[in-house]
Structure 1
């Protein structure tokens, strides 16, 4: 390697220093001249040693960037496993090379199959999250890493963790409607999940939080019709909370409400009969749900019509 001559020269200088010292002793030379010669030789040896170390460090960084570039080429060719190996080599050579860490995480994420239950697939997802976390340790406001973690947790169906990172995305990118929408979507999914029911009080909290975030989404982007669709769905969940609270107090009513849910008119009658004091509130939530759905459909139609006229792509979905 290029620093080998430096090492040989350093060894020669040290040997020369020792030779001078020995010669001075043999011919009985003492004093300032002898000390001066020894000092100069040793100083040159130290300088060359520092140059060798500096050259070694510079070479390592160049090798790291070379591995990064090779990884990027493999990544662009969709050779993700090969890309991962190059990126791992890059971060081993230069742990401070942030782009290598970010590309490593992205290459793992590209291999993850959403919802795949195999142990290998789960490990790939975890490796991606861990790699993104390394980036965040070095750069806590790295938006790509926060979004990457949110997306993988969502695909893994770890909705609480996904929501945590969607909220962080909203803090970092307050003028982007997507993270607000995503929080609303996650909250609706948790509330609607009949296989994993949550306490009624918790459902009520999630509905309110979801509506708050969806309101922010349409405030940022008024024509965001998908957000209005979920406003509609969350208001229906808000109406459902009224029923759930009654059933929680009187479990015998559960079967009646389950059957009545198949027919909206029957359900309305059952709510009016068993919860007369909250029937108007119940109807009000359903009215807001219907209004939000109608608004979503109207905006969707307008956006798609404009996209067709301009020959563009609808970006509001």
Structure 2
């Protein structure tokens, strides 16, 4: 339509009127005097009177304004329609990806999710599902460049998804899973420490994040940092026996696996600390069998 307007605007707009006239709208429901097409043509012949020429010039200026507005309206409408079509196509592509994901054809699923995001880069669910598909392609613990690429893509897509849905706890757990499988403990700690700063005002969330960070550092083998975060959890969630129990188990694990490499004084301090936390946990919960079992194990150390 725009090419037609540029080539011959009179011809392109003529079908909008009746009997060779084009109606001008001057407000909601109000139409101005139609412009006779013939009058427009006669503006160029130079045979009208001075008054007619002035009137013709005014009509021509009005006509040109109408033409500009029509072209602009067509451009805006075209853009909006194209955006709607792309959004519908993107959703269809994401659905195709879901079908391949369910069939465990993760490579095909990734291709469809990527096409979906090409059509609509602001479709959060496509980022989420692409992250899961890349997780399906990744072999946990593998250092092969291909698997490192898959794990990075999973992380990138899940992180992008969480930028749209920051409160999705399932999405955060999925991201944590990739970090741990890829043994990227520092990156995991960085992500959840930032989360801890943002959510510090919510005790329940802070306690859960402190537990997550304690677990991350324990996986890394950083006992001191793990103990620090588990203690923070116990300070926040004082009446939770599991928070105390976890610290007791961590102390036992340290003593047990250190063996004779740990100095006697340090060993005794660690045993005493573990017994203290385990006993406090057993005091808070009646018949806490797990805590009692670790108390017995700790005495053997």
- TM-score range with shorter-chain normalisation? 0.5 to 0.7
CA distance in 1 between partners of 2:162 and 2:274 (Å): 43
CA distance in 1 between partners of 2:249 and 2:145 (Å): 35
CA distance in 2 between partners of 1:286 and 1:142 (Å): 35
Relative to the length of structure 2, the TM-score reads 0.64
State the Cα distance separating 1:65 from its structure 2 match: 1.7
CA distance in 2 between partners of 1:63 and 1:75 (Å): 18
Residue 101 (1) aligns with residue 123 (2): no
Aligned with residue 9 of structure 2, among 14, 36, 55: 14
Q: Residue 214 of structure 2 aligns with which residue?
A: 184
Q: Residue 209 of structure 1 aligns with which residue?
A: 229
Aligned with residue 164 of structure 1, among 183, 187, 190: 190
Residue 64 (1) aligns with residue 52 (2): no
Moved more, 144-153 or 53-62: 144-153
State the Cα distance separating 1:190 from its structure 2 match: 3.9
SS of the residue 2:248 aligns to: helix
Q: Which runs of 5+ in 2 are unaligned?
A: 15-36, 292-301
What pairs with 1:252-263 in structure 2 (closer than 5 Å)? 257-258=260-261
State the Cα distance separating 1:22 from its structure 2 match: 6.8
Change (3 A) 1:181 1:98: same
Change (3 A) 1:205 1:47: closer
What pairs with 1:175-254 in structure 2 (closer than 5 Å)? 175=204, 179-191=209-221, 203-204=223-224, 206-213=226-233, 219=239, 222=241, 224=242, 230-236=246-252
Q: In 2, are the aligned partners of 1:150 and 1:163 still within 8 Å (CA)?
A: no
Q: Residue 20 of structure 2 aligns with which residue?
A: none
Residue 288 (1) aligns with residue 288 (2): no
The structure with more helix, counted as a fraction of residues? 1
Change (3 A) 1:48 1:85: same
Q: Residue 251 of structure 1 aligns with which residue?
A: none
Q: Which has the higher contact order (CA 8 A, sep 6+)?
A: 1
Change (3 A) 1:11 1:207: same
Aligned with residue 151 of structure 1, among 159, 177, 180: 177
Q: In 1, are the aligned partners of 2:210 and 2:229 still within 8 Å (CA)?
A: no
State the Cα distance separating 1:169 from its structure 2 match: 5.9
SS of the residue 2:121 aligns to: coil
Q: Residue 265 of structure 1 aligns with which residue?
A: none
SS of the residue 2:77 aligns to: helix
State the Cα distance separating 1:9 from its structure 2 match: 5.3
State the Cα distance separating 1:11 from its structure 2 match: 4.6
State the Cα distance separating 1:125 from its structure 2 match: 0.4
Count of matched residue pairs: 254
RMSD of aligned alpha carbons? 4.2
SS of the residue 1:117 aligns to: coil
State the Cα distance separating 1:108 from its structure 2 match: 1.5
SS of the residue 1:157 aligns to: coil
Q: Which runs of 5+ in 1 are unaligned?
A: 1-5, 192-197, 245-255, 262-269, 303-317
Q: Residue 79 of structure 2 aligns with which residue?
A: 53
Q: Residue 158 of structure 2 aligns with which residue?
A: 132
CA distance in 2 between partners of 1:219 and 1:12 (Å): 80
CA distance in 2 between partners of 1:34 and 1:48 (Å): 21
Q: In 2, are the aligned partners of 1:151 and 1:162 still within 8 Å (CA)?
A: no
State the Cα distance separating 1:292 from its structure 2 match: 7.6
Q: In 1, are the aligned partners of 2:90 and 2:117 still within 8 Å (CA)?
A: yes
Residue 36 (1) aligns with residue 62 (2): yes
